[in-house]
Structure 1
Amino acid sequence: MKLSHFNFNLPPELLAEDPSENRDESRLMVLDRKNQTIEHKQFKDIINYFDEDDVMILNDTKVFPARLFGNKEKTGARIEVFLLRELNEEQRLWDVLVDPARKIRIGNKLYFGDDDTLVAEVIDNTTSRGRTLRFLYDGSYTEFRNKLKILGETPLPKYIQREVKPEDEERYQTIYAKKEGAVAAPTAGLHFSKHLLKRLEIKGVKFADVTLHVGLGTFNPVEVEDLSKHKMDSEEAIIEEKAVNIINTGIKEKRRVCAVGTTSMRAIESSVSSHGTLNEFDGWTNKFIFPPYDFSIANCMITNFHTPKSTLLMMVSAFAGHDFLKRAYDEAVKEGYKFYSYGDAMLII
């Protein structure tokens, strides 16, 4: 399929600026692939689609406050620094994006915080906006990371035009987040409340935690019509033995095995055995899933509504079926569903 197959008209007012008042009371569209039917529910109704010993695969990555604002030496120009990934703990080297990039050159120093106690030196250009920074800080590594957290801001997506609110720190994070390393939330998981998770647990649903540290590469635009020529950025993924056993048991017993989000799906599809079961994994994946694609592990998926021409939309299209998903998206626009990170949810069975 081509890039143009994934274009559609998305009214700007359907991009969600804020989350629903309560996590599990966002809207839920249920797609039944076998019967080609569409239902409209609330997210908390999802419990009615799962039985004892069904499996939900959760991405337990944790978003860190990756957006910093500093000032350039001498001129004092305000510079946004978006932390992408740590390259070297001992030397405190980071891959970052800077904005405006034209003002930032190798050798420049940036000062952060009112007291300028955190300083970074630009040591390399990586892309047009990308830089490598070396942070200069006298304290211990733990103190350094705490300083980043204090100075950092919740990295809401750029489409959200409003100022970051105090409640974003909690709402732009799943309630089961454990392992820090993502610069964007695995947003399908944002709909789960503690109460809903407990109800699912009481019903006997099994939870398998995997980790995929979401990077900005997930959201990079596809700029080639031939999808086979698009290259995904690599993201770190970890799948441990406990999760493997839970998931493979679900597959063996022909249970509903549900990937919560495109990130969980990318992680598990990056480590499939020759027998169609899941293997342990600890490494990096640049898996790009688009139609046609045969999924090996999950037979069910929870996801948000995605933007036109996005790699996330392409993966969901491969899972739901392109024509069926197009019909569902047409209905979502007509019915005023909210799209993107703080938007509504879809269950595909």
Structure 2
Amino acid sequence: MTLPEILLADYEYDLPDEKIARYPVEPRDSSKLMVYRKGEILHRQFTDVVNYLPSQSFLVFNNTKVIPARVFFTKPTGALIEVFLLHPEAPTRVINEAMQQTTHAVWSCMVGNKKRWKAHETLQCNLLINQLTVTVFADWADMDKNWVNFRWQVADSQPEPIELTFVEIIRALGEIPLPPYLNRKTEAQDLETYQTVYSKIEGAVAAPTAGLHFTEQVFENLANAGITHDFVTLHVGAGTFQPVKVANAIEHTMHAEQVVYRRAFIENLLVHLEGIVAVGTTSMRSLESLYWFGVKLWQNKTKVQNGFFIEKLTPYQVYTSLPSAEESLQTILAYMEHHELNEVIGETEIMIFPSYTFKLCKGLITNYHQPKSTLMLLVAAFVGPNWRTIYDEALANDYRFLSYGDSSLLLP
């Protein structure tokens, strides 16, 4: 497989610090919206988005919910250990299931001040949850891999044992992580403003930020216009902020993220194949990964029972033939029917860069991304060389950039 070089320097632009939005606008839907449609650019407000979506549009949202993934323990010496949750490892790697564990959970983590946490040392802290006194313990499950075993106990003052889930523990113990480029501490309002209004399935460590602009009023406007939607779940990982440090972007190590597809969602896509608009890059990666999952089934190269995995360069392999989008989705549905599955769960590290041919997505709602990032490459793949015109226009018209910034509707 010979791929052309993707020179990262070609996807650089000057982003002044004052253009980075440190806080969101209020209300959410009062943010600016740039409409890019077949080369034409319009400047609007996000509340106007319904007026510029094609009539047959079918919006796909990512309903993941950000968890308080930053957990702090203070040692008796006063040393502060930060444990940043990345991905569950045991007793299950399925995030939805890991959140419901009631005795212990092993997670892969980033550990701050690791050198102060000895190999056989147990960290602990006491919490008050629903008027219950809870002690939380943290031990090394595998120090080399940064795997941490969390255990918790409710005080024995109750007549019957009370079980608390892991998600209840971290809600009380943890802190919502903000993107590092915001360069500020998490504040009380971030608990609400850094979640989409439709967030539901807990497990992300970063928000699908294109969705932050949507309000109940915008959803009502979409419904009145006959524009339908559905939800996929991709749990956004910390790797989304990982800088690309190689000159040839193809050599960048992509992060893997867990994604869940419901059978009803796939059936919905089949009905709306001509109008799929991804709300955010995570929805787009989910949709395009779904197509390539279908390709793997079509070639009889994967088993859903063990989970599936879409490798970084899956789309760029040499194929003698490929199924249509409809054939790919039908293949997945047939497999699910055969194995009596209502959902499939897997991981994707798909990398979308210029030369990629989009299989499902016809439009994209997204914020403005960091220069020389994998998300910048994705946008460039979708709109072509005009990405630079779009970003120049945004800078010239005082758009606010990155997670808490303004939005764009891209219809190439």
Above 0.5 in TM-score? Answer: yes
Which residue pairs with 1:348 in the alignment? 410
Q: Distance in 1 between matches of 2:163 and 2:205?
A: 20
Structure 1 counterpart of 2:44, from 20, 29, 41:
41
RMSD of Structure 2 on Structure 1 (CA): 1.9
Q: In the TM superposition, what is the alpha-carbon distance from 1:196 to its structure 2 partner? A: 0.5
Which runs of structure 2 are paired with 1:100-115 in the superposition (5 Å)? 100-113=113-126
Which residue pairs with 1:187 in the alignment? 209
Work out whether residues 62 and 173 of structure 1, in 8 Å CA contact, stay in contact via their aligned partners in 2.
yes
Q: Distance in 2 between matches of 1:144 and 1:300?
A: 37
> TM-score of the superposition, structure 1-length normalised?
0.91
Q: Distance in 2 between matches of 1:125 and 1:331?
A: 48
Q: Distance in 2 between matches of 1:51 and 1:223?
A: 38
What does the per-residue CA deviation read over 1:176-209, in whole Å, with 9 as the maximum and x for residues that have no partner?
A: 1111111110000010001101110121111121
- The runs of 5 or more residues in structure 2 that have no matched partner are 1-5, 91-100, 129-133, 155-161, 295-322, 333-343
Which residue pairs with 2:299 in the alignment? none
- The runs of 5 or more residues in structure 1 that have no matched partner are none
Which residue pairs with 2:318 in the alignment? none
Distance 1:103 1:298, change over 3 A: same
Q: In the TM superposition, what is the alpha-carbon distance from 1:69 to its structure 2 partner? A: 1.8
Q: In the TM superposition, what is the alpha-carbon distance from 1:257 to its structure 2 partner? A: 1.6
Q: In the TM superposition, what is the alpha-carbon distance from 1:100 to its structure 2 partner? A: 2.7
Matched, 1:133 2:168: no
Q: In the TM superposition, what is the alpha-carbon distance from 1:63 to its structure 2 partner? A: 1.0
Q: In structure 2, give the amino acid aligned to 1:145.
A: V
Work out whether residues 179 and 241 of structure 2, in 8 Å CA contact, stay in contact via their aligned partners in 1.
no
Which residue pairs with 1:3 in the alignment? 8
Q: SS of the counterpart of 1:20?
A: coil
Q: Distance in 1 between matches of 2:152 and 2:196?
A: 31
Q: In structure 2, give the amino acid aligned to 1:44.
A: T
Which runs of structure 2 are paired with 1:55-94 in the superposition (5 Å)? 55-72=58-75, 74-88=76-90, 89=101, 91-94=104-107
Matched, 1:276 2:317: no
Q: Distance in 2 between matches of 1:237 and 1:203?
A: 30
Greater displacement, 264-273 / 275-284 = 275-284
Which runs of structure 2 are paired with 1:243-262 in the superposition (5 Å)? 243-251=265-273, 254=274, 256-262=275-281
Which runs of structure 2 are paired with 1:1-349 in the superposition (5 Å)? 1-32=6-37, 34=38, 36-50=39-53, 52-72=55-75, 74-88=76-90, 89=101, 91-113=104-126, 117-126=135-144, 131-139=146-154, 142-251=164-273, 254=274, 256-272=275-291, 273=294, 274-277=323-326, 279=329, 280=332, 281-321=344-384, 323-349=385-411
> TM-score of the superposition, structure 2-length normalised?
0.78
Q: In the TM superposition, what is the alpha-carbon distance from 1:10 to its structure 2 partner? A: 0.6
Q: Distance in 2 between matches of 1:332 and 1:326?
A: 10
Work out whether residues 104 and 166 of structure 2, in 8 Å CA contact, stay in contact via their aligned partners in 1.
no
Distance 1:70 1:286, change over 3 A: same
Work out whether residues 219 and 311 of structure 1, in 8 Å CA contact, stay in contact via their aligned partners in 2.
no
Q: In structure 2, give the amino acid aligned to 1:4.
A: A
Q: In structure 1, give the amino acid aligned to 2:71.
A: L
What does the per-residue CA deviation read over 1:231-269, in whole Å, with 9 as the maximum and x for residues that have no partner?
A: 211111112122212222112xx3x32000000000111
Q: SS of the counterpart of 1:289?
A: coil
Q: Distance in 1 between matches of 2:392 and 2:345?
A: 39
Q: In structure 2, give the amino acid aligned to 1:335.
A: N
Q: In structure 2, give the amino acid aligned to 1:287.
A: I
From the CA coordinates, give the structure whose radius of gyration is larger.
2
Greater displacement, 302-311 / 323-332 = 323-332
After TM superposition, the runs of 4+ consecutive aligned structure 1 residues lying more than 6 A away are none
Q: In structure 1, give the amino acid aligned to 2:376.
A: L
Q: In the TM superposition, what is the alpha-carbon distance from 1:51 to its structure 2 partner? A: 5.0
Work out whether residues 54 and 257 of structure 1, in 8 Å CA contact, stay in contact via their aligned partners in 2.
yes
Q: In the TM superposition, what is the alpha-carbon distance from 1:161 to its structure 2 partner? A: 2.8
